[in-house]
Structure formats: structure tokens, C-alpha cells
Structure 1
Amino acid sequence: MIARKPYILLLALSIFLIACQDLDKTEKPDNLIPEEKMVDVLTELSLVHAAKNYNKFKLEQTGIQPDKFVFEKYGIDSLQFEQSSNYYSDQYVIYERIYDSVRGRIKILKSKYDALREVEIKREDSLKRLQKDSLQMMDSIMSIPRLRDSVQRSRLKLKVDNKRKEDKRDSLIAPVSMEEDRN
């Protein structure tokens, strides 16, 4: 039994060495997508996939196929993208540089959209505040009888003026003055 241990160890080592053979590196394709364009494509694909994960139903309603849309936008096809992706994945330094650029662009876009979102929220809050203030002002005006009557008269006058304007516009016959009617 002691003599079998070296053979078992030798057998395990030879199986391990055979299993760890060199893999062929992917050859550089003829239609390799340049690094900068690859960064653009991967950034767009990341955004499209994020949108798809956020609201898949809404994206499907548009009828747009996200990957196909991005490939058409950059003038590439899925095979070219796959070959380029495989090549770059074998080139670790380049691949890491590409994905660092994609991450950086997404962070920049996120900060821009977050800033826009904050501005939009502030705008909505100020509009709500203005609306609330105007309602409170109207309530305070309506609580004073003299001002309430004035507001109601203004509203009534506005309605009458608008009605007169509509009557003039809707008439097919030009208005005739009383003097013209007598002749």
C-alpha cells in the first residue's frame, strides 16, 4: 500500500498537467472595433440594459430592440461585436482600460442626471409652493367682503367679455350698426 502512494501522486500530477494545457489566444479579427468605439458601444449597451431592467414593459411597447438599435447606431453587427469582445477579453490590460472608461462615463452621466433631477425637484417644489401661496392669498381675499365682491365682479366681467368676443367670432354675418340698419 505504501508503494502505491507515489503512483497515485504521479497519476494525479500528470492529469493535472494535461488539464492545464495552454489555451489558444483569440486572433485579432479583421473587423476589430477600435477601443474608443468599443467604449461607446459598451456604455450605450449598459444604459440600454439598465433601462430594460428598470421598465422592461415600457421598452417592449416601443418595439425597439435595444441591442440591435445600438449596433445600428454605431454601424456594427453582433458578430463583429462578439469577435471584438472576445479579442479584448484575452487582452487583459486593454479590456480593463475599456471597462474603466465605461465605468467613468457612466459615473459622469449619473452625476449629470442626478443634478438635473435635483433641479427638477426644486422647480416642482417651488411651483407647489406658489400654488399653495396663491390659494392661501385667494382664501384671504375671499374672507374680506369688499374684496370678495370685487373679485366676483371681475370674474363676471371677464365671462361677459369672453362671451362677447365669442359671439363676434362665431357670427357669419358682419355686425351691423343701427344707423346702417335704417338705411
Structure 2
Amino acid sequence: MKFKFLILFFSILFLSCNDDGVKKPSKLIEEEKMVDILYDISILDAIRSSNPGVLEDNNIDSRTYIYKKYAIDSLQFVENTAYYASNLKKYKKMYETIENRIEENKKVADSLLKIEQEKESKNPKTKDSLKTKKSIEEIKANLRKLN
């Protein structure tokens, strides 16, 4: 049994190290646009994990949203993801770009929140406004400003 497992393991390892690589998709998404797509997916996944109902409550299907926004289809997305992922150095660089972008936007959002909190502390009449939830339109507008 172990012998069969080892043969299977080394066969997969050998085949995966083949230099054929993944063929370039017929509808190649430019690298910069692919980074934007992956960034948006990361943001939508973060929203889904931190507040699961917000997307559903507003009838937003994250994949459909991405496909419409970037005028792509699911097959094109999968083929391009496989193509870019086949070059690990390039793919890692793409995700580092996404991570840097998220960090930059987080700093901006934190600064805006700090300014808002300072305004709230100076004006006690508006203290209750912190408790009020922002509408999804306001959140979308702020996200657009960050992009």
C-alpha cells in the first residue's frame, strides 16, 4: 500500500514539474486588471466573512458582480487564474500588490475613522450618530473613493 502511494506521489510530482505550463488563455486578462479583480474578490470575501448577511440582504452575488464589473465570464476568470497561478513568482507579486493596496486603504479608512471620532467627541450632540448604521450606499461610495 505504501509503495502504491509513493508511486502515485512521485508521478504527480514529476508531472507537475513538467515545463509545458498552462497555455495562455485566448481571452487573456491584463495583469493589472487581474490584480483589480483579485482585489475586489478579496474585499467582497472580507465583507462576507465579517458580516455574512450584508451582501445577501442587498441581493449582491459577489461572483456575478465581478463578472459584470469587469465584463468577463466564469470560464475566462478560471482560465486566467490558472494561467497567472502557473507562474508562482508573478502570482506572488500580484498578491503582494493586492496586500499593499489593502494596507494603504486600511490606513486611509483608519484615518477617516479617527477624524470622525474626534469630531464626535468634540460635539456631544452627535454622539448618537456613531451608533447609527451607515447605509450600503455610503459604504460603496467610500470604497469607490479608496479605489
Instruction: Give the TM-score of the pair, scaled to structure 2.
Output: 0.73
Residue 91 of structure 1: which of 87, 94, 101 is its match? 87
Deviations 1:2-23 (A, max 9, x none): xxxxxxxxx89x9375454223
Q: RCO (CA 8 Å, sep 6+): is it higher in 1 or 2?
A: 2
Tell me the percent identity.
Answer: 32
Residue equivalent to 1:8: none
Match in the other structure for 2:32: 36
**Structure 1 CA distance for aligned equivalents of residues 92 and 13 of structure 2:** 25
Match of 1:64 among 27, 43, 60: 60
Does 2:22 align with 1:22? no
Deviation at 1:119, TM superposition (A): 0.7
Quick one: which amino acid aligns to residue 22 of structure 1? L
Q: 2:114 aligns with which of 109, 112, 118?
A: 118
Q: 2:74 aligns with which of 55, 74, 78?
A: 78
- 1:23-79 deviations in whole A, cap 9, x for unaligned? 352111111211100110111111111111111112211011112112211111121
- Distance in 2 separating the partners of 1:31 and 1:92: 21
Residue of structure 1 equivalent to 2:99: 103
Q: For 1:92-145, what per-residue CA distance to the aligned partner results, in whole angstroms no more than 9, with x for missing partners? A: 1211111111111111110010100101111111111899xxxxxxxxxxxxxx
Please name the residue that 1:151 is paired with. none
Q: Which has the larger radius of gyration?
A: 1
Partner residue in 2 for 1:54:
50
Count, aligned residues:
120
Cα RMSD of the aligned pairs, angstroms, is: 2.3
Distance 1:96 1:129, change over 3 A: same
Amino acid across the alignment from 2:82? N
CA distance in 2, matches of 1:111, 1:20: 42
* Secondary structure class of the residue paired with 2:84: helix
Q: Secondary structure at the match of 2:45?
A: helix
Q: Which runs of 5+ in 2 are unaligned?
A: 128-147
Q: Which residue identity lines up with residue 26 of structure 1 in the other structure? A: V
